Structure 1
Amino acid sequence: MEKRVSMLLLLILLCTLSNGVYGKSKARIPRFEINRRLKLLNKSAVKTIKSEDGDIIDCVDIYKQPAFDHPALKNHTIQMQPSFIPAVETSNGKLENSRPVVSQLWKRRGSCPKGTIPIRRIRRQDLLRANSLDEFGRKSPEHFERTNKTANQDRIMHLNNTNGPILSPTPENRSTAILLTYGFNFIGASGEINVWNPHVEKPPEFSTAQIWLKNGEVDSFESVEAGWIVSFSLYADTRTRFFIYWTADGYKNTGCFDLTCYAFVQTSKEITIGGALEPGSSTHQQQYVLPLNIFMDPSTSNWWLMYHNITVGYWPGSLFYLLKHSATSVEWGGQVYSFNVRKSPHTKTAMGSGYNAEQLYGLACFIGHPRILDYSKSYKYPTFVGIWKDEYNCYSAINYKEGNGNSEPLFFFGGPGQSPRCP
């Protein structure tokens, strides 16, 4: 009897430890639900390519891609090319020579045939890392911290230091360092994003360098986003990868990374969304960039994405209400997601290269040639810009202009996270 009581107490203790003392354990996802989701995500492949980094790339019939599982896209007709490609406008009439552009690792092992698109295969262990199937491949909603009036005064930014104040609310668990323009009707944005491989301390933390186009209120905005990311939770490694994201309600119930939900319509057989990038930049050595253009085709309201000179695909305008017409803000820069931002000890997850913005070219991460697009359909440097840093002691930003010449500023951002000035 005594032995049975001891065994019962031991079982109770084990259950308590697994569910209470050391944190809430993840709910077990039923096998049939995992199999069902994998079947929806991983379409039948015409050809399969095994990448050097362990990824499996499936070449899927373009008309059988996951986007067409979205209820709003059941009868969607693919727009194979945008109706126009925006022209670039510069102050001196020409754009400086672009830096070397990163490629994707999987392309060393082959290519997809015409009429297919490359899709990174989602595996069972990818789904098991998520707290639930509903959370897989998604950002958490942006819950904003409460701040008093004095604190809010510190969060007011002025475009070009003169053009009207903007209150920048701070979302919990996120820290950003950005270049921002606001207040006009934008139908596109572009930039050359310097590619690095920052340290990410632990899941579910991630670090990005990206472009955002937004419209709407701070807690329910619509957004299309693209850039590079390091996220073990999403990809099961610490490689730098090309990513995309969208939301129609501030990350609450809509949107996802890459093709993990049904929305983005891919048209290119050359680019794998979520694929690893190579090579990365090195300190005081060659700097590599990821040139991205995101723009709306006014004839269809589809938001197109270009990787260098390749049209990757588009977010259908039917996904949105406000972005069906234009964006009202554009952001270029970096973001760190962690439960330990604005806390001590601070996360050690780095942003950008891991060096502070003030250390400039060869050390700090940058975005070159930031451009906006309006209904003139020509890219141009934004008239009004501001800089925002949620934690200037942890992740800094500077729009640096060298000398007194006609060259435009180069936007630097980033930092190491926890450091002597960010305890």
Structure 2
Amino acid sequence: MEKVGFMLLLAMTLCCATMANSVSRKSMNREASENEDDIDRRLRLLNKPAVKSIQSADGDIIDCVDMHKQPAFDHPAMKNHVIQMKPSIELPLENKATKSEPSKPVISQTWQKSGSCPKGTIPIRRIQRQDLLRASSLEQFGKMYQPQDHVANSTLNENVRNLVINGTKVSLPYTQDRSQAVLLTAGFSYIGASGDINLWNPNLDLPDDFTTAQIWLLGGPGDKYESVEAGWMVNPKLYGDKQSRLFTHWTVDGSKATGCFDLTCSGFVQTSTDVALGSALGPMSSESAQYQISVGLFLDPHSTNWWLRLTNNLVLGYFPGSLFFYLKQKAIMVNWGGQVYSTMVKKSPHTRTAMGSGEYSEAFHGRACYIKNVRIVDYSLSLKYPEMVQVYNDEVYCYNGNNHRDTPVDEPVFYFGGPGQNNFCK
């Protein structure tokens, strides 16, 4: 009897354990299923129904999406928005025919070799499941990364650089985990800026690092600035590879909670069928040949939209004025240059992620990254070189900038970049 009782007790214990394990597995499976459901929902939200899809040779899928169904219209502020198909003013142009331009303008993207999108649609790089899985969270996908202690640390005065430009005191926004080498101007009302940026493919070190060459216009106070930005970027966490890609970015709170890259959230309204944001650019520059893209951002004073214009006067689309408060009227600062994001900038050991070509600015033409034909636009609606500019470097031994003239009569060209960690940058 004792043996039978023991066996019965053992059977009941095993049965309970099996049931507990079964419940546990079901709970885990349910949680996994819910996560999968969340991912599927986000993919459906991000990837709009395609009229046509194009398989690019580099692995990207480009969806041709009805212009009126693009992600921008998911934003509450865009509920009744009517697409502005072109600016209400003629965007300012500059005649570069008389200038010596040894660099070849380029706005070639790999996917364009495999097809084109029909009229009335825009090309959107499809977001894949693995893209979402690389993000720290679904909510963080496509956003400028912000460390959790950003808000607490961003109030430290020793991290703020104050400059005086054009008689105006400028407090540069705090950039934790970002290192910049920029040419900047401030002190006036800016309603546009442009420049020609040569293309490189810099080395990336850590999985979460990214590096950019860009133009950005800023408005608003300190760390809660508003900005519109565009240029090229290498960002494996976002794009899944180390190719140099065309990007845009916007924010209305210093990237604390708002804004995103490209079309990964509602914001930028694309009107062109020819170019896909987030798609790879080429060919890359080398010592023997320089290739560049032209980037310009311009405020339409009537609609308050910020228009993006690229090489060959291709108007890609706009950041709607309804997103902004300060930038609805003007920008108060313009930056040209590069930035590196890494948790290991301003620390030791420093990241080996490079900026620009990976060469310091002193390498100059043929080896260093540059922005030439630096221009601003004020209410005269004409392109002009800024009245006064200043170079700012966060980490001069890691990345630096140099506004260089070949001769006293030549217009300056802004060279910038660096290798990151080396004998001087620890």
Q: Tell me, yes or no, if the aligned pair for 2:206 and 2:351 is still in contact at 8 Å.
A: no
Alpha carbons 1:157, 1:388 under 8 Å: kept: no
1:89, distance to aligned residue in structure 2 (A): 5.6
1:266 aligned onto 2:266: no
Q: Which runs of 5+ in 2 are unaligned?
A: 1-9, 11-31
Alignment partner of 1:367 out of 364, 371, 381: 371
Aligned to 1:128: 133
For residues 121 and 386 of structure 1, what CA distance do their matches in structure 2 show? 40
* Among candidates 392, 403, 418, match of residue 415 of structure 1: 418
Within 5 Å, give how 1:338-417 maps onto structure 2. 338-405=342-409, 407-417=410-420
Contact 2:399 2:416 in 1 (8 A): yes
Once residues 393 and 72 of structure 1 are traced to their aligned partners in structure 2, the CA distance between those partners, rounded to angstroms, is 44
Change (3 A) 1:187 1:29: farther
Q: Do the aligned partners of residues 62 and 145 (structure 1) sit closer, same or farther apart at CA in structure 2, a change above 3 Å counting?
A: closer
Task: Give the aligned partner of residue 287 of structure 1.
Answer: 290
How far is 1:174 from its partner? 0.6
Q: State the alpha-carbon separation in 2 of the partners of residues 234 and 93 from structure 1.
A: 38
Mark the structure with the bigger radius of gyration: 2
TM-score in terms of structure 1 length:
0.88
Structural mapping, 1:16-31, within 5 Å: 30-31=35-36
| Deviation sequence 1:357-398 (CA, Å, 0-9, x none) | 011111110001110011111111000100000000000110
Out of 10, 34, 43, the residue aligned to residue 38 of structure 1 is 43
Correspondence for 1:112 among 108, 117, 129: 117
Asked whether the equivalents of residues 89 and 380 of structure 1 are also in contact (C-alpha less than 8 Å), the reply is no
Letter in 2 for 1:298: P
1:93 deviates by 10
1:48-104: per-residue Cα shift (whole Å, max 9, x none)?
A: 1111110000001111111111111121111001122333468x9955447312211
CA contact (8 A) 2:168 2:187 kept: no
Counterpart position of 1:332 = 336
Counterpart position of 1:80: 85
SS in 1 for 2:407: coil
SS at structure 1 position matched to 2:228: strand
CA contact (8 A) 1:88 1:380 kept: no
- How big is the shift at 1:147? 5.9
Change (3 A) 1:114 1:173: same
Counterpart of 2:300 in structure 1 is 297
3-state SS in 2 of match to 1:40: helix
**1:293 aligned partner, one-letter code:** G
Contact 1:29 1:128 in 2 (8 A): no
Rate the CA distance shift 1:293–1:126 in 2: closer, same or farther, 3 A. Answer: same
Q: Tell me, which stretches of 5 or more residues in structure 1 are unaligned?
A: 2-26
1:145 offset after TM fit, Å?
5.5
Give the Å deviation of 1:399.
Answer: 0.1
1:209 touches 1:335 (CA, 8 Å); kept in 2?
yes
1: CA distance between counterparts of 2:231 and 2:44? 28
The answer to whether structure 1 residue 255 and structure 2 residue 286 are counterparts is: no
Instruction: Map 1:51-70; keep pairs closer than 5 Å.
Output: 51-70=56-75
Q: Name the counterpart of 1:306.
A: 309
Which AA in structure 2 matches 1:31?
Answer: E
CA change 1:148–1:36 in 2 (3 A) is closer
Question: Matches of 1:264 and 1:167 in 2, distance apart?
Answer: 27
Task: Report deviation, 1:404.
Answer: 2.1
- The structural deviation recorded for 1:168 is 3.4
The aligned amino acid for 1:108 is K
Cα deviation for residue 106 of structure 1 reads: 0.6
Q: Quick check: 1:213–1:224 contact (8 Å CA) kept in 2?
A: yes
Q: Is the 8 A contact 1:224 1:246 kept in 2?
A: yes
Q: How far did 1:203 drift?
A: 1.7
Structure 2 counterparts to residues 120-269 of structure 1, below 5 A: 120-141=125-146, 155-159=161-165, 163-168=167-172, 170-269=174-273
Task: Tell me, in whole angstroms, the C-alpha distance in 2 between the residues paired with 1:39 and 1:138.
Answer: 18
Displacement of 1:257 in angstroms is 0.5
Contact kept in structure 2, 1:157 and 1:387, CA below 8 Å: no
Rounded Cα–Cα distance in structure 2 between residues aligned with 1:98 and 1:137: 36
- Amino acid in structure 2 at the alignment position of 1:333: G
CA distance in 2, matches of 1:266, 1:189: 19
Seen in structure 2, the aligned counterparts of structure 1 residues 164 and 217 have a Cα distance that, compared at 3 Å, is: closer
Kept after mapping to 2: 8 A contact 1:105/1:278: yes
SS in 2 for 1:322: coil
1:374–1:28 CA distance, 2 compared to 1 (3 A): farther
Distance 1:95-1:158 versus aligned 2 partners, 3 A rule: farther
Q: Would you say the 8 A contact 2:370–2:414 is kept in 1?
A: yes
2:27 aligned partner? none
> TM-score by structure 2 length?
0.87
Kindly indicate which of the two structures has a greater share of residues assigned to helix.
2
- Matches of 1:392 and 1:202, distance apart in 2: 21
- Across the aligned residues of Structure 1 and Structure 2, the Cα RMSD in angstroms comes to 2.3
Aligned-partner SS, 1:127: helix
SS in 1 for 2:243: coil
Shift of 1:286: 0.7
In the TM superposition, structure 1's runs of 4+ consecutive aligned residues that sit over 3 Å from their partners are 92-98, 141-149, 155-159, 162-170
Q: Percent identity?
A: 53
Q: Deviations over 1:5-34 (max 9, x none)?
A: xxxxxxxxxxxxxxxxxxxxxx99711111
Code of the residue aligned with 1:349 in structure 2: it is T
SS of match in other structure, 1:30: helix
- With over 3 angstroms needed to count, the CA separation of the structure-2 counterparts of 1:167 and 1:380, relative to structure 1, is same
CA distance in 2, matches of 1:192, 1:28: 48
The alpha-carbon distance between structure 1 residues 88 and 114, as it changes in their structure 2 partners (threshold 3 A), is: closer
Task: Kindly indicate whether the alpha-carbon contact (under 8 Å) linking 1:214 and 1:327 is maintained by their aligned counterparts in 2.
Answer: yes
Structure 1 residue 417: Cα displacement: 0.1
Contact 2:173 2:225 (8 Å CA) reproduced: no
